[in-house]
Amino acid sequence: METKQWYVDNDVYNVEKYPQIQEAAQLLQQGEVIGFPTETVYGLGADATNTEAVEKIFIAKGRPSDNPLIVHIASTEQLTHITKNVPSVAKELMEAFWPGPLTLVLEKKGGVSEKVTAGLSTVAVRMPDHPIALALIKEANLPIAAPSANRSGKPSPTLAKHVHDDLKGRIAGLVDGGATGVGVESTVVDCTVEPIVILRPGGVTKEQLEEVAGEVEVDPALLNEVEAPRSPGMKYTHYAPDAPLTIVQGSESFMQQLVDRAKREGKKVGVLTTEEKCASYNADVVLSCGKRDDLSTVAAHLYDALRTFDERNVDVIYSEEFPTEGIGSAVMNRLLKASGHRFISEN
């Protein structure tokens, strides 16, 4: 399959000026799969009402079929066609955070394919805060099911190049809108229960949610694999680079001991750290994913760093542990998934 690629400036206010958007939207209407940027990561979109189109997402990604997808919309009017019994707390969250990196799990009304919801009675919905994503959804005039645009299990894509590397020849088209912003996926919140429950940490923090919704719980399943995931990202190893990744709990000297041991074994060693500590390590590849005193920068560059380790062909990766306050919760959730919960502790 030929994968068409279009470049679109982020400043998409008049879709008539962008035949690229129109062509991509037409392919979505025809049941094809398109990669496109959002404010979190690149998404892999298909018509959420078309089972055959949605199946192409799973085929392209190699994604397990029991893993539900998020439906992306461009207006609250679209929401009324796919959900019912929207509670007041969900409306308050929409008012506060939409468009933005927040996905709400609501009762399903119908209209979306069973493949999207993995047979659940709920549907996960969000309105992305990205001009290209919104323009594409509006032009297609469809709810768009869209997981991250990567091969299943690999680090999510924050650049069009990442999508191209993973999915060239497997999808119909790719809209290149430059680098994404947040860098980790949306926060997923179950609004069908009281109090609401975070199923996946992401671009909207628990603290921000509590300011609007009051009490917010965190699903204990985030710490373990689950049999029937209620949200994308709750089951299976995700975000993983090719080399085994281990999270190191301990001092810089302990990290260096692990690096030195692996090097003596003849391994090419990578270290994932921050700008503040890059000079502290002597490894084959030392990468900073941001500033430790600004974890939003770590979130924004985490996946790109993991993909760079693949490009540098390292044999093993050691990563620092990060604080779990604010968006650090999402960073550590992704690292836990990428490492398969593999830790080494100095103590």
Annotated binding site for L-threonine: 40, 72, 122, 126, 146, 186
What DSSP state is assigned to residue 291? B
Q: Read off the amino acid at residue 48.
A: A
Task: Give me the phi and psi of 180, to 5 degrees please.
Answer: -80, 175
Q: 3-state DSSP helix/strand/coil percent for the chain, to nearest 5? A: 35, 20, 45
**Distance separating alpha carbons of residues 296 and 182, to the nearest angstrom:** 7
Binding residues for ATP: 63, 67, 148, 156, 200, 239
**Distance separating alpha carbons of residues 264 and 268, to the nearest angstrom:** 10
Task: Give me the phi and psi of 76, to 5 degrees please.
Answer: -70, -20
Measured CA distances, 19 to 6, 75, 173, 177, 220 (Å) = 10, 22, 14, 14, 46
Q: C-alpha dihedral over 91, 334, 157, 52, to 10 degrees? A: -60
Measured CA distances, 346 to 145, 250, 255, 283, 338 (Å) = 43, 5, 9, 19, 21
**Distance separating alpha carbons of residues 34 and 113, to the nearest angstrom:** 18
Structure tokens given for 57: 């997402």
> Cis omega before residue 195 (within 30°)?
yes
**Distance separating alpha carbons of residues 178 and 8, to the nearest angstrom:** 8
Residue in the block written with tokens 């062509």: 23
Spacing of C-alpha 181 from chain mean position:
12
Binding residues: 40, 63, 67, 72, 122, 126, 146, 148, 156, 186, 200, 239
